Structure 1
């Protein structure tokens, strides 16, 4: 009986704390019917609907969603802790003629610019809202946070701030460090390659994915067999699967002693991958910015990842080029059937 009374007291106390916690969070019902924690965010719900309709074909995880995430990274990484670059300010869109001269993403800015003009947002808010919304359309992705209220950008970002596929690991880690990111955060940001594709490394095969199904950290480690397009191009190495591109930069990071275990630890650990990617992207979208309003609740909730990670058909642990010697490689099953061909996005 004493135990029962104690349990009742604990349950009551827990419920009281939950009610107290809930009472501290004020929720606002917007004119559109959606609920948010901040009234200022109400203006974003119809804009999210417009972005989904006009940019993402009604909410698809397609080429435009991949491109939106890429654009946000290219925009924010134009920053240095030493005081240059505006960071996540949308300069890549507002000053697209200047930045496209050295970033070669005019196909993305050309698609986004008319939609951006429709929204009335600052360029920085649009770029990073579109990236979060597009990522939210992709199953298995984290629900990225979004902060609202960036002023218009003042100038284009400097050249040579985006790491290239041909760069060494030292050069890549140095560039990330100059923007304020540690090696584990740099690797976490490469989780974006699970929903990304290559357009420029081999222009003959635009939209070539970097993995088959949210398992870039596994497939980059598999022995390469072929090039997906017009032979070897600068910035790519042999890919294990037909229709898939393996970036040279991804492969060397997976093999380097400074990053190999960080890379391997992402395999078959969706929780780790999404958590670390979400944190790193949150940090990235605040680079160079002042006080902003948290409007994360306007971002769509992604569908869960079907999982688990498996070797593509015809592959096994014998095909792994393991570089992390500190920990065992995860035990994975293999998909049945013949080796797949990865479809373009």
Structure 2
């Protein structure tokens, strides 16, 4: 990518030097754009060894998205079979989760857009799932963030409010057979779409809980350089372009501990809305209006991620970012999950995009 950028810079002033130069430049740009949109297609969990003829409908759907298909859920919605306490509803995974999501939605939405609890739920989903890489024997989206002592780690400072709320929801609904792992990821998906403009991401449940604390040293820090972050995420099966898509979740972020003198400073000027201002404002670099993490600034200017970052900051950025984020977070929600072929699709209960 860096070589292509340099080449464009060298030949652009001579665009009319010979017939066909414009076509050559277009081909170079097309190659560059294809590089930009490249996503990970690496399989996860049991799907790595399950033969196609043995795939369930859920397993087939998950495999398709992991392989590069769209992770945006369609507009179909679920109509509840009855009250949560009814025998009919108790027998339906969709019905149980429909009622749970209604509670989540209320907590995640107000008149301005998405709430602080929604922001926390998005980050909480990351922190449970991303404490895993391909060398890990356990960890990932397994609920351990709230089932072990992981909350005492410095990585998880600022998650106290959403952690307490999520534990309360779990106590309320665990009798219906849900897992903490599923609740954490369902909350993240619901919170994302509760921010106006957030994508409605395909979602499955059936993850197994694990009370063992996840391995340490697997989560990113806001002080890291881009090259270190690219390596960190590659070990989790993400490409550098996936990384750029994922950090865009900072559009709905308010920091508390990176700079304690500016507690609750947002990372873009519209933290209640899911948009691409994070990208353009990080590039602009006005660290007085918003708080820019060193890691984000580094990613915005690093040779391996700069072009992707700029593409999301551009005039067509939202249409590029939404599907890229959806696919990358879909993958994130399955890190460390080894029973993907036995999950249940509950995408229909996730609220429609605002």
Normalising by structure 1, what TM-score? Answer: 0.69
Alpha-carbon distance between aligned partners in 2 of 1:57 and 1:123, rounded to the nearest angstrom? 22
> Of the candidates 103, 110, 114, which is equivalent to residue 164 of structure 2?
110
**Residue 132 of structure 2 corresponds to residue 79 of structure 1:** yes
Residue in structure 2 matched with residue 253 of structure 1 by the alignment: 299
CA offsets 1:270-328 (integer angstroms, 9 cap, x no match): 1111000000010110112112111111111121xxxxxxxxxxxxxxxxxxxxxxxxx
> Of the candidates 178, 183, 186, which is equivalent to residue 126 of structure 1?
183
**Structure 1 stretches lacking a partner, 5+ long:** 1-25, 225-238, 304-345
Does the Cα contact within 8 Å between 1:78 and 1:85 map onto a contact in 2? no
**Residue 293 of structure 2 corresponds to residue 204 of structure 1:** no
**Cα distance, 1:28–1:300 mapped onto 2, change above 3 Å:** closer
Alpha-carbon distance between aligned partners in 1 of 2:155 and 2:247, rounded to the nearest angstrom? 18
Aligned pair count reads 258
**Residue 102 of structure 2 corresponds to residue 49 of structure 1:** yes
Residue in structure 2 matched with residue 68 of structure 1 by the alignment: 121
Alpha-carbon distance between aligned partners in 2 of 1:110 and 1:125, rounded to the nearest angstrom? 16
Question: What RMSD, in angstroms, separates the aligned Cα atoms of the two structures?
Answer: 2.5
Residue in structure 1 matched with residue 35 of structure 2 by the alignment: none
Higher relative contact order (CA 8 A, sep 6+): 2
Does the Cα contact within 8 Å between 1:30 and 1:39 map onto a contact in 2? no
Alpha-carbon distance between aligned partners in 2 of 1:278 and 1:190, rounded to the nearest angstrom? 12
Does the Cα contact within 8 Å between 2:144 and 2:150 map onto a contact in 1? no
Residue in structure 1 matched with residue 281 of structure 2 by the alignment: 219
Alpha-carbon distance between aligned partners in 2 of 1:210 and 1:102, rounded to the nearest angstrom? 20
Residue in structure 1 matched with residue 10 of structure 2 by the alignment: none
Normalising by structure 2, what TM-score? Answer: 0.68
Residue in structure 2 matched with residue 280 of structure 1 by the alignment: 328
**Structure 2 stretches lacking a partner, 5+ long:** 1-75, 85-90
Residue in structure 2 matched with residue 12 of structure 1 by the alignment: none
Does the Cα contact within 8 Å between 2:143 and 2:211 map onto a contact in 1? no
- Cα shift at 1:40: 2.5
Alpha-carbon distance between aligned partners in 2 of 1:163 and 1:85, rounded to the nearest angstrom? 18
- Cα shift at 1:27: 9.3
- Cα shift at 1:109: 1.5
Alpha-carbon distance between aligned partners in 2 of 1:45 and 1:115, rounded to the nearest angstrom? 14
**Cα distance, 1:189–1:28 mapped onto 2, change above 3 Å:** closer
More helix as a share of residues? 2
- The secondary structure found in structure 1 opposite 2:137 is coil
CA offsets 1:21-58 (integer angstroms, 9 cap, x no match): xxxxx997531399xxx9531211111122234x4367
Between structure 1 and structure 2, the one with the greater Rg is 1
- The secondary structure found in structure 2 opposite 1:287 is coil
Does the Cα contact within 8 Å between 1:63 and 1:207 map onto a contact in 2? no
- Cα shift at 1:181: 0.7
- Cα shift at 1:203: 2.3
